[in-house]
Amino acid sequence: MTKYPLRPFGSRGAGSAGRKEALLMDRMPFYLVVFQSIPETAILISLGLILTGYKPKLKSVLVIASLESLVSFLIRSLPLLPGVNVFLQLPVLIVLTACCCGLSLLDAALASLLGLVVLALTETAFNFLISAVSGIAVRQALEDPLLRVLFPLPEFVFLTGAVLILRRYNLTLFDLQELKNLEQLKGDEK
């Protein structure tokens, strides 16, 4: 759920007196679907699922990431205000996760939201760090097609490493499957 430059909506020409100008999301170039959106969504959903105790299959993650990225591409082609896209994309991500991974909608929602929060916090930290080290402002990176692809790479490498470590050592934030098993055991005892 990457950020993209904003484009003006309306004009400040002679005939626009009294008309307010709004900023709309910039259209996502298709190359970013492949090089940024799919990897970012795969990382988001992998993180969310692993942190909630699920071990997603690579095929399921790639299907979810590909479909969600295409939906994102379509949503970003609409004249929407910044941030509105997340409210449209998140339900799609939740439904795709539930369907492709065989989860309840609640479990898929928790995994998706957790992945989104972790990704957003990491993205913010890395944007600050990369800007400080390289001297390249985020706005400048968003306006240059090559930098737009390269700028998030350190974040993606870090998060992919985190996903691999979390999965390898079965580290979770809270294990939803284990919580359900405990609830079932309590119910059986009564």
171-188 pLDDT, tens digit each: 999 999 898 888 888 777
Query: Does the residue 5 lie in any domain?
Result: no
Do the domain assignments include residue 104?
yes
Token pair 């591409």 in the structure block, residue: 73
Mean pLDDT over the full length of the chain: 89
Would 168 be classed as within a structural domain? yes
Q: Is residue 8 part of a domain?
A: no
Residue 45 resides in a domain = yes
- Write out the residue range of the structural domain in which residue 120 sits: 21-189
Residue with tokens 């939740």: 94
Q: Provide the token pair at 7.
A: 């484009």
Confidence label for 17 from pLDDT (cuts 50, 70 and 90):
very low
Residue 83 has what DSSP assignment? T
Within a domain: residue 14? no
Two tokens at 79?
A: 């004249």
Cα–Cα distance between 49 and 111 in angstroms, integer?
5
Domain membership flag for residue 183: yes
**Whole-Å CA distances, 40 to 30, 32, 35, 107, 168:** 15, 10, 9, 20, 20
CA angle 77, 81, 84 (to 5 degrees): 85
> Using CA of residue 51, residue 64, residue 120, residue 157, what is the dihedral sign?
positive
Give CA–CA dist 7/64, Å, rounded: 29
> What average pLDDT does this structure show over 13-34?
67
User: CA–CA separation, 44 vs 115, rounded Å?
Assistant: 5
User: Phi and psi (nearest 5°) for 40?
Assistant: -65, -45
The mean pLDDT value for 72-85 works out to 89
CA distance 181 to 70: 36
| Cβ(8)–Cβ(19) below 8 Å | no
- What total of structural domains would you count in the chain? 1
Q: Determine the pLDDT at residue 11.
A: 44
pLDDT bracket for residue 82 (50, 70, 90): confident
Q: What is the predicted pLDDT for the residue at 187?
A: 77
- Which pLDDT does position 16 carry in this prediction? 45
Q: Is residue 1 part of a domain?
A: no
The reported pLDDT for the residue numbered 92 is: 98
pLDDT at 184: 83
User: Is the predicted pLDDT of residue 22 greater than 80, yes or no?
Assistant: no
